[in-house]
Amino acid sequence: MEMETNNLINMLQYAAKKATPSTEPQRATNNVPSETKRIIAEKRKTMATLQITHTPDSKRKYNQISNKLKSKLHELRKESFTA
């Protein structure tokens, strides 16, 4: 009885796998320019420094880089919208 149940379960699983279409996961296209990637890396690095030191100088540097990144991303969105 148990053997028949296992066999039936295996047959059903096999049929379900065969009937289900296989799809490859879609990869997001990475169209971020290298300059923007560099700014992102710099922002992460200054954030790490800020979290360790908590100095006004590191906070100022982080805010400058953060604002630079925001403006760069705004530019990219604006360019892609007009295109």
Query: CA quadruple 64, 47, 31, 33: dihedral positive or negative?
Result: positive
Identify the pLDDT of residue 60.
Answer: 98
Average pLDDT estimate for 13-39: 86
52 compared with 8, residue with greater pLDDT: 52
pTM above 0.85, yes or no: no
CA 38 to chain centre: 16
Reported as a single tens digit per residue, the pLDDT across 32-49 is 899 999 999 999 999 999
Average pLDDT estimate for 61-74: 97
Identify the pLDDT of residue 74.
Answer: 96
